[in-house]
Amino acid sequence: MRTRSSAPLCLLAPVFAGCGLFGPEYLEIREVTVGPTLARCQGAGPQSCMVVDGEFFYDGIEGFTWEAGYDYRLRIGKHDPWGGKEPPQDAGRYAYRLLELLKKTPATSTPATLALAPSRVTCVHGDDFCLVVDGGLYDDMITSFEFEAGDHYILDADRYRDGRYVLSEVSSRTRAAGVEEEITIDRHRVPCGDGHPGYCKVVNGAPFRGEIVGFHPRHEDSYRLRVERFDMFPEGVTGAPHVPAWGYRWLETLERNPGS
């Protein structure tokens, strides 16, 4: 049984799609499939996107409330909310509106238990940091989960056919603890040099793919820091070769040398 929206008739029937009297003039009306997870995507900055017809969808759909774990079939209308004028900076050229919710069904998934390292690592497919999940880089997001660096996590999640996850429950969360030490960070970044793409900070004279929790350097400056060094993995567990075995938590900036 179809569930219809409460939009005016002009928005529901394609034959009335061009009537500006009751609603926007639609440039296109089409049916789309929306997936059960969100995806990490890059717009003006890192963001989350719905997956529409198998591709990242950078816009919202007015009148549509997305819920994790469901497959959707929608009829949507595309229109120009700016009346032909130039849109504001960082705004989309077009907007989309739900015309009809055709179908909503629970998506098939399998349960999974995920172990997350306490700090992220430079991705190999982009100039950003990735989560470390079960010892390897995870170049995406986990829907409904907000990662805070510095803690070990065990998550119960559902895995969907697209390989992405939706959080069910945070099973455990413990602070990563270690020993204090001093480190140096050179100005600029260099190729990580571990056989994978990416640019790394130079820590104690060597490329370091991990982040330093709580520290936000200027790439033009060099530093000497007091940090807490912690293990990325429980004893007896190792990660992928390009994932550091340890991470750092910033405690104090002892020295900063601005670049020229």
Q: Specify the length of the chain in residues.
A: 260
H-helix segments, the chain: 9-12
pLDDT tens-digit readout, 74-117: 999 999 887 777 777 766 778 999 999 999 999 999 999 999 99
User: Mean pLDDT: which of 14-18, 125-129, 199-203 is highest?
Assistant: 199-203
**Cβ atoms within 10 Å of 18's Cβ, excluding its own:** 11
Q: Which helix (H) or strand (E) holds 203?
A: strand 199-203
pTM: 0.83
> How confident is the model at residue 231, as a pLDDT?
96
Measured CA to CA, the distance from residue 256 to residue 191 in angstroms comes to 23
What the block records as the tokens of 175 is 């602070």
